[in-house]
A and B are shown apart, each in its own frame.
Chain A
Amino acid sequence: MSKSIKYYYDFLSQPSRALWIGMKLGKTPFEGCPVALRKREQLTDEYKKINRFQKVPAIVDGKFQLAESVAIVRYLSDKGQFSEQLYPKSLEGRARVDEFLEWQHLSIRLACGLFFRNAWLYPVNGIAPMPKIEQIQKMTKEVEANLGLLERLWLEKDFLIGDQLTVADLFGASEINQIKLCQYNVSEKKFPKVVKWLERVRESSNPYFDEAHNFVYQKSKQAVSAKV
């Protein structure tokens, strides 16, 4: 009898959400272990024993500990505990999804992540002041350069990799949704394919998509009403 894996995550973390949605959709058995980043629980000595890098997401499978969302997807898949539709086993199918997963780190994730950090996380927590308009514009431009790549290069079909939802879509969408917190909404005029794709990803992965994003949705609205 093997126990199910323990999943350490927080819904404020983009890859935490992507992996959580993927596991829910694929019926991966897991025990959810929320780590409240807002309380800095990831920085405790106790958590350091779980993940030496003190980040989320991470898993513990028996005595085996693993960090890094993409590495976790691959581990679970090879263990037969991750949906094959979401992460293919075939050589070429997998290579195409891997191509996106490796690409996103220094493109869409970096651009959205920096924007989120500088225009929400740091100012909200009093770590740094709200960036100036010019800085916001610069970060927005960077985000949009990458949205442009999605629009023109990746979204040839309904999803990033072909006609069906894969983890690539979950990772991509989760990064883009993060900047709702900075009051950034993808413009249908500028990026019509991206907007339709985001809606498709949401529909294909609900109710889990909304459940994972509830926190982001709420906080984004709060920020708006606070301004009013």
Chain B
Amino acid sequence: MSSRLATLLGLSQGPEDQQHLQKAFEEGRKTPTRQTTNLKMSPSPIKYYYDLMSQPSRALFIIFRLSGMPFEDCVVALRNGEHLTDDFKRDINRFQRVPCINDNGNKLAESVAILRYLSAKGKIPEHLYPKYFVDQSRVDEFLEWHHISLRLTCAMYFRTVWLEPLLTGRTPTEAKIEMMRMHMERNLDVVEEVWLESSDFLTGSSLCVADIFAACEIEQTRMADYDVRIKYPKIRAWLKRVRQSCNPHYDVAHKFVYQISGTGPQAKL
């Protein structure tokens, strides 16, 4: 039994959804399923299980690449239900979601927990996730805040406008879309007015993991044809800065988002 809310969030899909998703993907992309990236030789790199359609998967992908951390690429095709198999549940992640890691037999789920674990292991540079506890707590404050606010509402909007119609063949009512937009914009307002009130990035004057997690959530709404740049000048300028600071990895992580939405940043970096 999977949680309906999880399903709503696009965190997991039932097997019946897979066919539709598969089809959508075949149409949306022409590149092969498995990419080989970052397979540097190292004694035993961390196994990273992810799908670039998942927001936190993208965030960690960008963070690992920026950190120069070698990892073994383990792509999990959510649209094929690869996370729903018994094998996946037993051997990879009992919660049947991505992202997750396996560090020499030590399995860990939850993107933020993974980030902290790898940071404590010295794999993430300090400028991305500070080690000094006072500075770290500022970043933590955002990471903890974002789950039930920005992440939830952007994901619901994406789900309502893009994923659900795809799965059910029914278009949502205007009223429902409007309500989802309202919930989401209430949180985008907080990003614009509070988090970005007086600084170039969410928790200070330079890029950190908070910016990457947030940007990946917001980018997801592109696929639902939402353009955050229209109403939010600070977010617009900030997103540009985040992308620039993270590229080329940002664009690699978002290639399916760009393809499916038929939008993408015009400028080549």
- Residues of A that sit less than 8 Å from B by CB: 52-53, 64, 66-72, 74-75, 78-79, 91-92, 94-95, 98-99, 101-103, 105-107, 109-111, 113, 141-142, 145-146, 148-149, 153
Contact = CB atoms under 8 A, between A and B. Distances in A.
Given A94-B116, A145-B2, A70 B144 contact: yes
29 contacts: A52-B194, A53-B190, A64-B134, A66-B141, A68-B140, A68-B144, A71-B137, A71-B140, A74-B137, A75-B133, A75-B140, A78-B137, A91-B117, A94-B116, A95-B116, A98-B112, A99-B108, A99-B109, A101-B113, A102-B147, A106-B11, A106-B148, A106-B152, A109-B148, A110-B148, A145-B2, A145-B5, A146-B3, A149-B95
B194 A53 contact: yes
Interface in B248-268: none
Interface residues of B, number: 37
Interface string B96-115: 00000000001011111100
Nearest first, the 3 A-B pairs at minimum CB distance are A78-B133, A105-B147, A68-B144
B136 interface: yes
Given A68-B145, A98-B116, A106-B148, A111 B5 contact: yes
A106 B148 CA distance: 6
Contacts of A79: 133
Interface of B: 1-6, 9, 11, 94-95, 106, 108-113, 116-117, 120-121, 133-134, 136-138, 140-141, 143-145, 147-148, 151-152, 190, 194
Nearest to B97: A103
B106 A92 contact: yes
A78 B145 CA distance: 20
Given A69-B144, A71-B141, A75-B133, A106 B1 contact: no
A102 B95 contact: no
Contact of B4 (A52, A66, A95, A141): A141
Given A68-B144, A74-B140, A94-B116, A107 B6 contact: yes
A68 B136 CA distance: 13
B253 to A, nearest CB: 20
Nearest to B148: A105
Best-surrounded residue of B1, B2, B11, B147 (most CB of chain A within 10 A): B147
